[in-house]
Structure formats: C-alpha cells, structure tokens
C-alpha cells in the first residue's frame, strides 16, 4: 500500500513537472519565426529512392513492396546530373526564400551520411551526401534549408507500424525505444553536422491517429532535443491537428488555411506562422505518369490566396532519378520568379488583408499599404469599406491603371483588366 502511495505521488509530481515544461521560444527562434512568416514562398523537394520507381513516394506502401526488394534500388541510385548549385539558383530565381528537403521519407532511406543506418546515400553507387551539398549551397547562397523528417519507417522493423506499411516488413519485431533512440540520433546528426537548419518538418503522426490505445510519440522530449541543439530551429509537424506544445509553425497540407477541400485541414488558424504545402502536379515524389501540372496562373493564384491568409506556400517539386528537376517544374519556377520580381511587394512580408471578398478578390497588407488582388479578369468594379484615410491608389505593373473614388470611408475602384492578366494588383496607400 505504501509502495502504491509513493508511486502515485511520484506520478503526480512527474506529470506536474512535465506539464510545467511549457515551451518558451528563444529570442533567436522568435526572430526566425518572423523571417519565416515574411518569406511567403518555399520550395518543397521530395527526392529519394522512391524517385527511381517513378510512381510517387508512397509506391512502396501502395504496392506492398517487401523492404528488402525495394532496397535493391539503392544499388542503382546514381543521380549523376544532380547539381545543388543549379537547384538552389533556380529556387532563388523563382523568388523562394527557403527549401524543405526530404532527408528521410517513409521508405526509411536516408539522403545523408548517417552513421546510424547503412540504408543511406553513401552506400549507393553515387556515394555522396546530398544533404551536405544542399546545406552548403543554401548557406552559400543565403537561403534557409528546412529538413523534412519522417516519423514513419516502412523498412525498419523496430518502428511499430500504424495504419500504413503493414505489407512491407515483418511486424513482430517492433521496438519503440530503439526506434525513438535511432530517430533522435539521426536528428542530432542533422542538427550538428550541417550548420544552421531553418526547420525540422515532421510527418507521419497520423499513422497512429486511429490507434485504440493512444500512441505516445514522445514528441516533447524530441522537440526539446532539437531546440537544445539549435534553439533557433523551427519545428513543424504535419499532423493535421492544431499545433502541439514545442512547435513553432502551423502546417496545412494541400489546403489554404481555413479551407478543407482535401480533408486534412479542419483545424483552426492559430497564432503561429502558417504554411500550406501543395504539389505542382498531383504528386509529391516524382511520378512519370503525372504530367498534369498546374498552370503558372493557377500557381500564382495559389500563392496569392495563401498570402491572403497570412500563410507561406511550400510548393513541391519531385526531382527525377538522374538528379534533375522536371522541365515542367523549372518553367513554372522561372515564370513565378518573373511575376514576383514585379509584384513581390504585394506578397512578401505582408499579412492577411482582413477582408473576406470571395475567391477572386484577395487582400494582403503591409504597414501602410493594402494590396487588392483581382484574380478574375471579368472584374470591372470593386467597392470596399476602408477604415483609414486614403492617400493614393495605383495599379501595379506596366500599363495598368485604376479609377477610384473614396467617399465616407468607402473605396470604389473601376478597372479594365486585360485578358492575359494573371493578377491585377491595386495598391492602396493610407495617410
Ligand atoms: C503526406 C504524405 C507524404 C508527403 C506529405 C507532404 O503526409 O504522406 O508522402 O510527404 O504529405 O505534405
């Protein structure tokens, strides 16, 4: 009885102290959050062994490929045309402010020189550390590197399989403590050997979301480890829930915050910096059969809509097995870069405009300026209440003009939008 009492007391003290450890971000972290929140465009890269099968990054799971058979692809991975400098230059020219790279996806293959698993890039014929090359190049070109890290592993038997990866490996040898140690060792490596890492982007929590006994991912301790190693490193988790304690950004998958067309994003918009990740076609990892890319216009509209919610767009590309980026993606990147070079002031470092005017009229705001983005060329007139006195109203871009009247707190705009216009941006400057 006495023993039981002591155990209960210990448990209570422990849970109080665990609860008390509410995360307090450092000044450096807060500064990084601010920079992140001003970035607006990041490039997501899904590149790994799965690229060789050219059927997207879920191929192993969807086709129930045995882990040992799948791993044979490692003996042929030779992306001889990979050039980190070319990639990073293309992303910068596109106007992106950060890159998020899949260091290890659900298939369990590590794209860096890790001593914690032989299943890594150094043991391919290519034999070079991809994360190292990207990190060095990002640091050289002054763009942040974020690392995607999967909580799931369809190859390692110590990872206790959830709802996925049930047909790829033996399920009887799960050993969570061993797997947890392995992940933390790998994360320590990534956060120690590659200079500043802008963010760790976790994915896979949902694998155990439907367990009858709630699964404990021990995230708090893992998050503490990351913040101890790099206090400025932002933590995001694609768990499709409201942010957990210890996280620095809120992620939405394939939906502009506040929308839920894909079924992953019912969560409320919280106070942390926001990010929406989305594909250029329909796939994250390279899929030869999927050439259905969004048009430049659709991509710019997506960027404008996410900006209109005060969120970043993390736009995905699935690099090819030879190490090059698909031509279709490169073309779109360069067009987006041109558009941002002219209209970037209405996107970067803006916040949500604060109006709800439907899908075709989006507003962003920056200090003394309100930007009204007209996404439908049929719009010829807009009327909206503005609380501050208006100093000037102009249309951004060459040969664009706007007629306006401002009376009793109401702004009326008249525009004539050319048919080929992607986004007619009206800039209102307040007194
Ligand atoms: C989903 C997918 C994963 C992809 C991620 C990107 O979680 O499982 O393959 O990496 O979305 O947002």
CA pair distance 82, 90, nearest whole angstrom? 13
Bin 8: left if φ > 0, else alpha if -120 < ψ < 50, else beta. alpha
pLDDT, position 17 = 41
388-398 pLDDT, tens digit per residue, is 999 999 999 87
Q: Do 48 and 285 meet the contact criterion of CB atoms below 8 Å apart?
A: yes
Q: Where in the chain is the domain with CATH 2.60.40.1180?
A: 4-10+352-430
Bin 271: left if φ > 0, else alpha if -120 < ψ < 50, else beta. alpha
Name the 3-class secondary structure at 41: strand
404 CB-side CA count, 13 A:
25
Report CA(89)–ligand 1 centroid distance (Å): 25
Pocket probe for ligand 1: among 162, 284, 290, 318, the residue whose CB has the most ligand atoms within 8 Å is 284
Pocket probe for ligand 1: among 104, 251, 253, the residue whose CB has the most ligand atoms within 8 Å is 253
CATH of the domain spanning 19-348: 3.20.20.80
As given in the structure block, the two tokens for residue 313 are 């767009």
CA pair distance 315, 251, nearest whole angstrom? 13
pLDDT, position 15 = 45
Cβ-based neighbour number of residue 380 at 10 Å: 11
| Atom number, ligand 1, closest to the C-alpha of residue 254 | 12
CATH of the domain spanning 4-10+352-430: 2.60.40.1180
Report CA(100)–ligand 1 centroid distance (Å): 12
The residue whose CA is least distant from atom 8 of ligand 1 is 204
Q: Do 66 and 339 meet the contact criterion of CB atoms below 8 Å apart?
A: no
Pocket probe for ligand 1: among 103, 203, 312, the residue whose CB has the most ligand atoms within 8 Å is 203
Report CA(203)–ligand 1 centroid distance (Å): 7
| Atom number, ligand 1, closest to the C-alpha of residue 58 | 9
The residue whose CA is least distant from atom 7 of ligand 1 is 203
DSSP 245: T
pLDDT, position 399 = 77
Q: Do 417 and 336 meet the contact criterion of CB atoms below 8 Å apart?
A: no
Helix axes 130-141, 84-93, angle to 10 degrees: 40
Q: Where in the chain is the domain with CATH 3.20.20.80?
A: 19-348
Report CA(204)–ligand 1 centroid distance (Å): 8
| Atom number, ligand 1, closest to the C-alpha of residue 46 | 10
Report CA(277)–ligand 1 centroid distance (Å): 9
Pocket probe for ligand 1: among 51, 149, 164, 238, the residue whose CB has the most ligand atoms within 8 Å is 238
pLDDT, position 14 = 44
Residue 422 neighbours by CB under 8 Å, 6+ apart = 296, 297, 300, 301, 339
Report CA(314)–ligand 1 centroid distance (Å): 12
Report CA(308)–ligand 1 centroid distance (Å): 24
CA pair distance 411, 431, nearest whole angstrom? 14
Bin 185: left if φ > 0, else alpha if -120 < ψ < 50, else beta. alpha
Q: Do 117 and 182 meet the contact criterion of CB atoms below 8 Å apart?
A: yes
Give, for all 431 residues of the chain, the pLDDT tens digit: 455 555 554 444 444 444 445 999 999 999 999 999 999 999 999 999 999 999 999 999 999 999 999 999 999 999 999 999 999 999 999 999 999 999 999 999 999 999 999 999 999 999 999 999 999 999 999 999 999 999 999 999 999 999 999 999 999 999 999 999 999 999 999 999 999 999 999 999 999 999 999 999 999 999 999 999 999 999 999 999 999 999 999 999 999 998 999 999 889 999 999 999 999 999 999 999 999 999 999 999 999 999 999 999 999 999 999 999 999 999 999 999 999 999 999 999 999 999 999 999 999 999 999 999 999 999 999 999 998 999 999 999 877 889 999 999 999 999 999 999 999 999 999 99
The residue whose CA is least distant from atom 11 of ligand 1 is 253
pLDDT, position 398 = 79
How does DSSP assign 330-395, residue by residue? HHHHHHHHHHHHHHGGGTTT-EE------SSEEEEEETTEEEEEE--TT--EEEEE-SSPEEEEEE
Residues within 6 Å of ligand 1 by CB: 46, 57-58, 203, 238, 253, 277, 284
């Amino acid at each position: 009885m006495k023993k039981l009492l002591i155990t209960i007391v210990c448990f209570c003290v422990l849970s109080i102290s665990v609860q008390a450890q509410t995360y307090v971000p450092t000044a450096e972290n807060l500064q990084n959050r601010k920079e992140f929140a001003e970035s607006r465009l990041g490039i997501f890269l899904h590149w790994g062994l799965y690229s060789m099968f050219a059927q997207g990054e879920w191929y192993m799971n969807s086709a129930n490929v045995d882990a040992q058979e799948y791993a044979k692809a490692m003996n042929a991975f030779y992306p001889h045309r990979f050039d980190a400098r070319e990639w990073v230059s293309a992303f910068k020219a596109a106007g992106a402010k950060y890159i998020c790279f899949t260091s290890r996806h659900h298939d369990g293959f590590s794209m860096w020189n890790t001593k914690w698993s032989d299943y890594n890039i150094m043991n391919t014929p290519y034999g070079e550390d991809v994360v190292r090359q990207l990190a060095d190049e990002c640091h050289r070109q002054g763009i942040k590197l974020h690392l995607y890290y999967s909580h799931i592993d369809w190859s390692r038997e110590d990872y206790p399989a959830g709802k996925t990866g049930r047909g790829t490996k033996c399920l009887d040898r799960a050993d969570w403590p061993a797997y947890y140690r392995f992940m933390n060792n790998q994360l320590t490596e990534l956060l120690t050997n590659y200079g500043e890492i802008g963010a760790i982007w976790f994915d896979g929590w949902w694998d155990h979301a439907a367990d009858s006994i709630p699964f404990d991912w021990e995230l708090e301790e893992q998050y503490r480890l990351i913040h101890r190693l790099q206090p400025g490193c932002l933590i995001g988790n694609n768990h499709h829930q409201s942010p957990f304690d210890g996280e620095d950004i809120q992620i939405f998958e394939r939906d502009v915050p506040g929308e839920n067309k894909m079924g992953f994003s019912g969560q409320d918009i919280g106070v942390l910096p926001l990010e929406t990740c989305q594909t250029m076609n329909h796939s994250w990892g390279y899929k030869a059969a999927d050439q259905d890319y969004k048009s430049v216009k659709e991509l710019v509209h997506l960027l404008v809509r996410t900006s209109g919610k005060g969120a970043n767009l993390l736009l995905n590309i699935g690099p090819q097995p030879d190490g090059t980026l698909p031509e279709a993606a490169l073309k779109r990147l360069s067009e987006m870069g041109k558009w941002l070079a002219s209209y970037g002031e209405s996107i970067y470092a803006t916040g949500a405009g604060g109006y709800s005017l439907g899908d075709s009229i989006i507003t962003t705001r920056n200090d003394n300026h309100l930007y009204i983005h007209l996404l439908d060329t049929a719009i010829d007139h807009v009327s909206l209440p503005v609380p501050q006195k208006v100093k000037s109203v102009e249309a951004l871009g060459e040969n664009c003009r706007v007629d306006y009247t401002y009376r009793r707190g109401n702004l009326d705009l008249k525009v004539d939008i050319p048919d080929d216009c992607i986004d007619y941006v009206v800039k209102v400057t307040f007194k």
